[in-house]
Copies of this chain bind each other. A is one copy, B any other.
Amino acid sequence: MKDQSTTTEQIIKQVVITWTSRNKAFSDFFYKYPDQEYLKEVAPGRNRAIYLLGHLIATNDAMIPLFGLGEKLFPEVEVFSGNPDRSFEINASVQELKTKWESLNTVLTTHFSKMTINDWLEKHTAVSTEDFAKDPLRNKLNVLLSRTNHQSYHLGQLNLLSVKELVA
């Protein structure tokens, strides 16, 4: 049996790998079709794919201050977080959002690679010291687990997008 510290590191690595894999699946989706396809809604009357891209940028970007790692990279995308699609005008192209998504992923990957076991088990900045003492599971690892599932949730919806197959 391995020593416990190595075991803990391995488990955290697995959680981070799961994040990375779901993140990559989301990225891959936005490289499958011509940009204009992402202006469509995933189902009648539901969110447009471009909205979901902005929504994921906003949600994931919020991890930076939540982990005490600095300011959000793209505060202008914040509007996608608490507001439904069509309640505001999307002032960015699919290409512009894709560029932000990729930059954000690079920054998050760098941060995550430097985080120690203790960093992951520390409280995030949205929980008070008192509340964290009562529930030590409200840590950064929990945020990552939750955000990983959030990516999967919306990827399931994106994969319903009806795209006419391109004929060569």
Q: Is A84 an interface residue (CB 8 A)?
A: no
A–B complex contacts, Cβ < 8 Å, 12 sampled: A4-B4, A7-B117, A8-B8, A11-B15, A13-B137, A15-B15, A18-B145, A43-B43, A43-B44, A46-B160, A148-B149, A153-B156
In the assembled complex, how far is the CB of residue A18 from the closest CB belonging to chain B, in whole angstroms? Answer: 4
- The tally of residues in A whose CB lies under 8 Å from a CB in B reads 41
Are A1 and B118 in contact (CB-based, < 8 A)?
Answer: yes
Are A15 and B137 in contact (CB-based, < 8 A)?
Answer: no
Q: What 6 pairs between A and B have smallest CB-CB spacing?
A: A4-B4, A43-B43, A156-B156, A153-B156, A149-B152, A152-B152
In the assembled complex, how far is the CB of residue A56 from the closest CB belonging to chain B, in whole angstroms? Answer: 12
Contact of A142 among B14, B44, B155 (CB under 8 A): B14
Residues of B within 8 A of A43 (CB): 42-44, 46, 160
In the assembled complex, how far is the CB of residue A106 from the closest CB belonging to chain B, in whole angstroms? Answer: 22
Contact of A121 among B10, B148, B155 (CB under 8 A): B10
Q: Is A39 an interface residue (CB 8 A)?
A: no
Are B137 and A14 in contact (CB-based, < 8 A)?
Answer: yes
Q: Is A157 an interface residue (CB 8 A)?
A: yes
Contact of A153 among B4, B46, B152 (CB under 8 A): B152
Are B5 and A4 in contact (CB-based, < 8 A)?
Answer: yes
Interface residues of A in 146-164 (CB under 8 A from B): 146, 148-150, 152-157, 160, 162
Residues of B within 8 A of A146 (CB): 18
Residues of B within 8 A of A4 (CB): 3-5, 7-8
